[in-house]
Amino acid sequence: MALLLASYPESLTLSLGQHWRDENETGFRPSSINIWWETGSLHVTAELQDDVVYTSATAFNQRLWERGDTFEMFLRPPGSDGYLELHVAPGNYRMQLRFPSAETIRGLRDNTDSLDRYFVTENLFESETELTPEGWRVHARIPHPDVRSGAEWGFSFCRYDIGMDISAPVLSSTSEHTPERLDFHDQSVWNTVQLS
């Protein structure tokens, strides 16, 4: 069943969690997401609690999840098999991918395809970041022609919180992933929202 999302100034508030664990990891820090829309644009604000805000990113379209703290937005437009994966790192570094379908990920994981084919160089969204006393904040505006009343979108918001050890990120998501399948690309557990 789709969540209902009214247009601005109404918003939907979600929390990032570790639904695949019985208890949150020691390094887990809470985060909240607000999402709203106006005709032609989705808006997302993420309040990310973080003890150590870190990224080694230096440019657009780097693999941000390999470089430090990353906020990830997965968005599937109505009636589409394709979806967007949009990342923001501290310092407002951004990364953009467009996948034609969920099947694409299988090819990437079995090395019969290359991620480089799916990077998008034209701007798909705008974002701003700022440090806060609790961590950092992201605001993103994603323009799209299918942001309109009645449209139903699939989505998931996820996070890599790096802390002091880049090899052991603390993961969290708005989607209810299971211990058997912790896969941010698993659309079967994504939420859906109907724009009302």
- Report the 10 Å Cβ neighbour count for 54: 17
Q: What is the pLDDT of residues 106-150, one digit of tens each?
A: 889 998 899 999 999 999 999 999 999 999 999 999 999 999 999
Residue 171 has pLDDT above 70, yes or no: yes
3 state SS of 187? helix
The 3-state secondary structure of 33-73, one letter per residue: EEEEEECCEEEEEEEEECCCCCECCCCCCCCHHHCECEEEE
pLDDT at 59: 98
> DSSP H helical segments within the chain, as ranges?
103-109
Q: In whole angstroms, what is the distance from residue 50 CA to residue 172 CA? A: 13
pLDDT at 152: 95
Architecture of domain 15-175: Sandwich (2.60)
pLDDT at 1: 62
% of the chain surpassing 90 pLDDT: 83
Work out the end-to-end distance of the chain between its first and last CA atoms, rounded to an integer number of angstroms.
14
More confident call, 3 vs 177: 177
Enumerate the domain spans of the chain: 15-175
